[in-house]
Amino acid sequence: MEQSQSLNGYTSATVVATTSNFIMVREEPFTHTYRTVIRLREQGTLKLRFGFSNTVDSTWEQGTIAWAGREGGAWRIEAACIADGGIDHNCSYNEGTLVHLTFGGTGTRDVLPGEQFYSDPVEIYLPDGHDLMFSWTLSAGPGASIPYNTEQMLVTAYDAPGFRAAQPNEDGFRKSDNLLVLPSWIGYEKDTVQELVFFGDSITQGVRTAQDGYDYWVAKIANQLGPACGVWNLGSGWARAYDAATDTAWLRKAKQGKDKIVLCLGVNDIDIGCRTAEQLLSDLQDIIYRLKNHNPDVKIILCTVPPFNFVEEREQIWRTVNARIRGLSLSGVDRVFDIAEVLSQPAPHEHLLQRQYMSSEFDPHPNGLAGTRIAEAFLRWY
């Protein structure tokens, strides 16, 4: 999404990735409320704005339903509001803290396919340690409509049929599963000394780490750098480098990076994407070219491809790509962060994730301990 001049002085308010990798497809019209509790990088009196992109960011599975650049349908924001979400991640809130969002001065908004837009500024006070509750009621006709994220829930969310955006209690709500429906960007007014964008797949998003734990590497890096350093997490489950190379909504978000962009892609290209080493490297080069062409001053930090227990042909592709990345064969790369070295078993088993970092016996998504080790290594290197 393109950033307007009026958003100068704003930075991402959360490390939660709100990218979209799926789209709602319904046979009948619907009206539904989605409520999410998220930790912001700071509390106190905050001036917030919310950005919306009605386009799918990255491909899910084989791309039969959701693919990078697929435009959402026509839908409507019936109401949107924020409140003090407290400390318990529950569905209720203190009614006295509710603030309604507006769009050009009105509380509703008809959304067109592919549209990008922002809310008006809004202020809220959050006591120290309290989360933000974001609640909105959306409606759409039959067919494809609203892009959202269908990965494992990293924050607590609820949903309910009907018009319940401002409802203060949990009546009618259920806990959401694989259903994160949030704005594409949650920002707050903040002067920062530098801005970092983390652009990657589920490993960057933090998938398989604890819900509401903020245990993934991007969150821990942001916590250590502090709020003076802006951090925008654009991780998206099952995303591929070739999604970004299409230069659609997802990469356009990354182009907003002013100072440094950290690229961590390739696992899904090698795996479900079945890309060759040359195809993956070509896509990475194309991404870097587009980012540098948009902003020649931005610094590109390219990560090696994390180990994902690849074997046979995929292992060889993984080894080839990482050798080329370490050899600085891609033009426009300013620095290389060797995330694979942090996570890999000793040679000759570098292609395997260390067992202590496995999220489960058979799942090589890095766990919270891995998030700590990556963050420690990144900050020492950085």
Residue pLDDT, tens place only, 118-129: 999 999 999 999
Q: Do 283 and 313 fall into the same domain?
A: yes
CA-angle at 67, arms to 61 and 73, nearest 5°: 125
Q: Do 225 and 334 fall into the same domain?
A: yes
Burial 228-251 (b: 16+ CB within 10 A, else e): ebbbbbbbbbbbbbbbbbbebbbb
**What's the pLDDT at 356?**
99
Tokens for 40? 């912001």
Mean pLDDT to the nearest integer, 323-330 = 98
Q: How confident is the model at residue 5 (pLDDT cuts 50, 70, 90)?
A: very low
**What's the pLDDT at 225?**
98
**Cβ distance 65 to 147 under 8 Å?**
no
Is 3 inside a domain boundary? Answer: no
Q: Do 210 and 168 fall into the same domain?
A: no
Average pLDDT, the chain: 98
Specify the number of domains making up the chain. Answer: 2
**What's the pLDDT at 78?**
99
CA distance 175 to 157: 6
Q: Do 111 and 127 fall into the same domain?
A: yes
pLDDT for 2 beyond 70? no
Mean pLDDT to the nearest integer, 61-86 = 98
Residue pLDDT, tens place only, 243-260: 999 999 999 999 999 999
pLDDT for 9 beyond 90? yes
Q: Do 105 and 77 fall into the same domain?
A: yes
Tokens for 31? 């009206």
**What's the pLDDT at 94?**
87
Question: How many CA within 13 A on the CB side of residue 376?
Answer: 9
Q: Do 133 and 154 fall into the same domain?
A: yes
User: In 184-269, where do the E strands start and end?
Assistant: 185-189, 194-200, 229-233, 260-264
CA distance 230 to 241: 24
Is 316 inside a domain boundary? Answer: yes
Q: Which CATH number covers residue 229?
A: 3.40.50.1110
CA distance 80 to 102: 8
Residue pLDDT, tens place only, 189-210: 999 999 999 999 999 999 999 9
Q: Do 263 and 342 fall into the same domain?
A: yes
Interhelix angle 217-225/368-381, nearest 10 degrees: 50
Q: Do 167 and 25 fall into the same domain?
A: yes
Q: Do 90 and 204 fall into the same domain?
A: no
Domain closes at, from 159, 185, 211:
185
Q: Do 264 and 318 fall into the same domain?
A: yes
Is 2 inside a domain boundary? Answer: no
Q: Do 199 and 216 fall into the same domain?
A: yes
pLDDT for 316 beyond 50? yes
Q: Do 180 and 197 fall into the same domain?
A: no
**What's the pLDDT at 161?**
99
Q: How confident is the model at residue 95 (pLDDT cuts 50, 70, 90)?
A: confident
Q: Among residues 119, 130, 137, 123, which one has the least CA distance to residue 94?
A: 130
pLDDT for 134 beyond 80? yes
**What's the pLDDT at 1?**
64
**Is the bond preceding residue 147 a cis peptide, omega within 30 degrees?**
no
Tokens for 340? 């694979």
Structural domain containing residue 330? 192-381
